[in-house]
Structure 1
Amino acid sequence: MIETVGGAVPADALGRVSTNEHVLTDSRHLQRPTREGLQLEGLMRPDIVGDLRWSYMSLSDNLTLDDPDTAVAELALARTAGLDTIVEATSWGMGPRHAELPDIARRSGVNIVAAYGGYIDKTLPAWWRDQSEDDLENAYTTALTVAVPGTGFRAGLLGLLGTSAEITPAERRGLRAAGRAAHAAGAAVSIRLDGAARRAPEVVEILTGQGLSARRILFCNMDKVLDAAYVGDVADTGAVVEFAFGSENYFADGARDATDGERLAFLVRLLEDHPTAAVTMSTSVWTKGQLARHGGMGYAHVVRRIVPALGRAGVPAQVLDDMLVRTPARLLDRG
């Protein structure tokens, strides 16, 4: 069975799954000036889209998803396009609003599996960051087996746990605690690695050292590091690797997203070179600029555009179903 915000459901009821999305979140603390040193102000609007593509973190309003009605409408569009389930991965440090998720799931018609965890050190509120390892393990166990605090549902997995370029003591405590709690509950852990580092093997070692199977580890946004040898080695550990499509923005001079063309070509090669790799996909929506109403690709991008493109590139239908349906269900199924 798989824990959703509407209760436990059979694994075969999930359908097509996006394994790393955000519905309500707040990352305004990550705002930075434009690449030219300017400050953008005001709300999301058409005339600012070009500025954001050039300096994506420069508008405060872009860095929050704050309206449940908008979330319902955007997810309903994705449901119409064929997306059945999302993993909502907003953790502490990203402004989670867990209690509002069941209503959004009901109104949109999309299953929501809620993750629970703490993000990268620099984003964490002090009350979370300064917890002991035992306290973190207790918090994770409670979320997985009793309920996410302030809600009536259990977490479907732990995450999104973040790691910095150098894993900090707080992040290391969180990883160890999550590994033990997830192992005991038969659950998975999702990880967002710093794109400038190559920390996945170390994270696998930490988590498996607490008893967690590598097959219960999901590395999100692996498209941030399109290094064939590195990603191939991660896939060969048995961990699940996720590719997020739809965002093609600059964050600083010399720091940009890959294009979807680059992601597609890389994924096709990975599937050819590592045919047993466990792969999932997402759009990793976490900002207003990614929503369809603001000119973004929206939550439906993978099912509407990426899956057909992979099919045209020769990826067999069975492999596409593995990435969208079977692999996410195996990852999330707690028996």
Structure 2
Amino acid sequence: MIETVLGPVPAASLGAVATNEHLLTDSTVLLRPTREGEILHGPIRPEILGDLRWSWLSLPDNLALDDPDDAVAELLLARAAGLGTVVEATSWGMGPRHAELPELSRRSGVTIVAAYGGYIDKTLPEWWRALDESQLETAFRTALQDAVPGTSFRAGLLGLLGTSAEITGAEGRALRAAGRAAAETGTAVSIRLDAAARRGPEVAGILTAQGLAASRVLFCNIDKVLDLAYITEISDTGAVVEFAFGSEHHFADRARDANDDDRIAALCALLAERPEARVTLTCSVWTKGQLTRHGGMGYAHVLRRIVPALERAGIAPQRIHRMLVTEPALLLDRP
């Protein structure tokens, strides 16, 4: 069974799954000046989109998904394109609004699986950073077995857990505690690795050392480092790797996203090199500018544009179905 914000459902009911999305979130802690040293002001609007694409983290309004009506409207567009389920991966450090997720699911008809965890150290609230390993394990076990705090539903997995280029004390405690809690409950853990380091195999080792099966580990946004040798090394641990499409933004000088053509090429290369690699797909919407109403690709981008592109690139429909439907269900299914 899959734990959703509206209660348990059979794994076969999920349909196509986006394994790492954000519906209501506040990432303004990541605000940084433009590459020219300024902060943009006001709401997101057409006349500043050029500046924003050049410096994606420079507008506070862009870093907040704060309107439930917008979230529902965007989910309805995705549902019309064939999306059945989203994993809402907003963790502490990104302003989660867990209690509002059931209403979004009811209004949109999209199944929502809520993750629970803490993001990278520099975003964490002080109360979370101060938790010791035992307290973190209790918090994770409570969210998985009883309910996410402030709600009546259980988390479907732990995450999105962030790791910095050098794994901090708080991040290490969270990884070890999550590994034990997830192993005990048969749950998955989703991880966001820092692109400045190559710590995927190390992080997989930390989690499996706590008794968690590698098959229960999801490395999100693996496309942040399009190094085939590195991605295959992570895949060879037995973990699941996720490619996130639709974001092609600059963050700072010499720091920018790949483009979707590069992601498609890397995914095709991985599948050729490792035909049995466990892969999921998502859009990883976490900023306002990624919504369709602001000119972004939205939550339906994978289904509307990437799937046809993969088919044109020679990826069989059965393999695409495995990435969108089969692998997410296996990952999220709990005993």
Give me the TM-score of the superposition, normalised by structure 2: 1.00
Deviation, structure 1 residue 48: 1.0
Matched, 1:22 2:7: no
**Secondary structure, aligned partner of 2:83:** coil
**Secondary structure, aligned partner of 2:198:** coil
Cα displacement string for residues 235-256 of structure 1 (whole angstroms, at most 9, x for unaligned residues)? 1111000000001010001000
Q: In structure 1, how many angstroms separate the alpha carbons of the residues matched to 2:205 and 2:31?
A: 33
Q: In structure 1, how many angstroms separate the alpha carbons of the residues matched to 2:321 and 2:145?
A: 30
Deviation, structure 1 residue 38: 1.5
Q: In structure 2, how many angstroms separate the alpha carbons of the residues matched to 1:307 and 1:107?
A: 26
Matched, 1:176 2:185: no
Matched, 1:117 2:117: yes
Q: In structure 2, how many angstroms separate the alpha carbons of the residues matched to 1:6 and 1:211?
A: 29
| Aligned residue number for residue 108 of structure 2 | 108
| Aligned residue number for residue 6 of structure 1 | 6
Q: In structure 2, how many angstroms separate the alpha carbons of the residues matched to 1:60 and 1:310?
A: 35
Q: In structure 2, how many angstroms separate the alpha carbons of the residues matched to 1:161 and 1:139?
A: 14
**Secondary structure, aligned partner of 1:119:** coil
Cα displacement string for residues 101-152 of structure 1 (whole angstroms, at most 9, x for unaligned residues)? 0000010110000000000001000100110100000000000000000000
**Secondary structure, aligned partner of 1:195:** coil
Deviation, structure 1 residue 329: 0.2
**Secondary structure, aligned partner of 2:128:** helix
| Aligned residue number for residue 255 of structure 2 | 255
Cα displacement string for residues 14-66 of structure 1 (whole angstroms, at most 9, x for unaligned residues)? 00000000000001111111111122100010111111110000000000000
Q: In structure 1, how many angstroms separate the alpha carbons of the residues matched to 2:227 and 2:26?
A: 30
**Secondary structure, aligned partner of 2:328:** helix
Deviation, structure 1 residue 217: 0.1
Q: In structure 1, how many angstroms separate the alpha carbons of the residues matched to 2:90 and 2:29?
A: 15
Q: Which amino acid aligns with 2:241?
A: V
Counterparts of 1:1-335 in structure 2 under 5 Å?
1-335=1-335
Q: In structure 2, how many angstroms separate the alpha carbons of the residues matched to 1:21 and 1:253?
A: 26
Q: Which amino acid aligns with 1:133?
A: E
Q: How many residues align?
A: 335
**Secondary structure, aligned partner of 1:84:** strand
Deviation, structure 1 residue 197: 0.6
Deviation, structure 1 residue 83: 0.5
Q: In structure 2, how many angstroms separate the alpha carbons of the residues matched to 1:331 and 1:19?
A: 10
Q: In structure 2, how many angstroms separate the alpha carbons of the residues matched to 1:17 and 1:98?
A: 19
Deviation, structure 1 residue 182: 0.3
Q: Which amino acid aligns with 1:197?
A: A
Deviation, structure 1 residue 96: 0.1
Q: Which amino acid aligns with 1:16?
A: A
